[in-house]
Amino acid sequence: MKCTINRRAQFSASHRYWLPELDEAENKRLFGACSRFPGHGHNYVMYASLEGDLDKYGMVENLSVVKQVIKREVTSQLNYSYLNDTWAEFQTTLPTTENISRIIWQRLAPHLPLVNVRLFEHPELWTDYQGNNMQATLTVKTHFSAAHRLAIPSLSFEENQEIYGKCARPNGHGHNYHLEVTVAGEIDARTGMLVDLGALQNAIDEYVVEPFDHTFLNKDIPYFAEVVPTAENIAVRIADLLRSPIKEIGAELDKIKLIESPNNSCEINCRNAHATVETANQAAVMAS
């Protein structure tokens, strides 16, 4: 029986996005504030996911050994470092979050049965790398606040209440929605970027956050006048709105996750149009 385990580790490091072959104006255009001298820092958190059959001791890998490997190959070298000068690979390709996760994979793969490296630059930005050459995913997390009512206009209040319960009450209710947008693409061999992060954030703000924030979805968003704004339908609509703008900036929309509350969330796998609804009891939690 195959099983996946996850090991968490962390390190603090600084870096700078700067290409010496470009002038200052072009570096600022490409990297914005990240080009400032002498750089900036993050408290990085990584999860190494390992997969394999259970051994006679009931383990995929001995976690004490996993911990030692990660410390030896990654965290002891990167912690409190200036990444641009720490590993030779970052002389060729800048130490973006995407590229750091790729190089961590290369350092760990000879020693561990890796299936994924997830690296958080901060809680609202992370990447996943699965050993596919220069391909990776990048996730941006944001939020908006909105109200909605779950009701089919052609049905009576009693019929809607039978379907949607309290959510069918006439005056609606609100949520602080948390939105995770995951894009896929190839890491640029020089800049280390999968996508222009500023352009990605602008697209999410323009097409989703600004139009949806502080609205009554049923009344303020024409699409939801006829479509019941369940978490699933909202996530599908967000995917439809973002697919083309993200393609225009050179990436592919991979996944939308909409968290309606701590107990409920919905995911849209945009590359095969598969939706998954989670409740608190169903949600998978990474092992610590």
Are 137 and 278 contained in the same domain?
yes
- My answer on whether 43 and 179 are in the same domain is no
- Number of structural domains in the chain: 2
C-alpha–C-alpha distance, residues 120 and 105, integer Å = 14
Q: Which two tokens stand for residue 263?
A: 């107990």
223 falls within a domain: yes
> In this predicted model, what pLDDT tens digit does every residue of 48-89 receive, in sequence order?
999 999 999 999 999 999 999 999 999 999 999 999 999 999
Whole-Å CA distances, 197 to 19, 146, 224: 17, 25, 29
- What pLDDT, on a 0 to 100 scale, did the predictor assign at position 271? 82
Within this chain, do residues 137 and 276 fall inside the same structural domain, yes or no? yes
Q: Do the domain assignments include residue 53?
A: yes
Q: Give the pair of three-digit tokens for residue 52.
A: 């394999």
pLDDT value of residue 96 = 98
Predicted local confidence at residue 286, as pLDDT: 35
Q: Cα(267)–Cα(207) distance, rounded to whole angstroms?
A: 18
Domain boundary among the residues 72, 96, 130 is at: 130
Here the CATH number for the domain that contains residue 248 is 3.30.479.10
pLDDT (average), residues 138-156: 97
Q: Looking at the structure, tell me whether residues 139 and 14 fall in a common domain.
A: no
Let me know whether 109 and 11 are in one domain. Answer: yes
List the catalytic residues. Answer: 167, 214, 260
Q: Within this chain, do residues 103 and 11 fall inside the same structural domain, yes or no?
A: yes
Q: How far is CA 276 from the centre of its chain?
A: 16
Structural domain including 261 reads: 132-283
Tokens of 192: 């280390």
Is there a single domain that holds both residue 124 and residue 160?
no
Same domain, 172 and 90: no
CA gap 271, 207 in Å, rounded:
20
> Is there a single domain that holds both residue 270 and residue 140?
yes
* pLDDT 10s digits, 196-231: 999 999 999 999 999 999 999 999 999 999 999 999
Q: Global pTM?
A: 0.92
Cβ 180 vs Cβ 200: under 8 Å: no
Last residue of a domain, one of 81, 109, 130: 130
Which pLDDT value is given to residue 1? 77
Residue 257 maps to a domain: yes
Would you say residue 288 lies in a domain? no
Q: Which of 130, 151, 173 is the last residue of a domain?
A: 130
- Stretch 168-181: mean pLDDT: 97
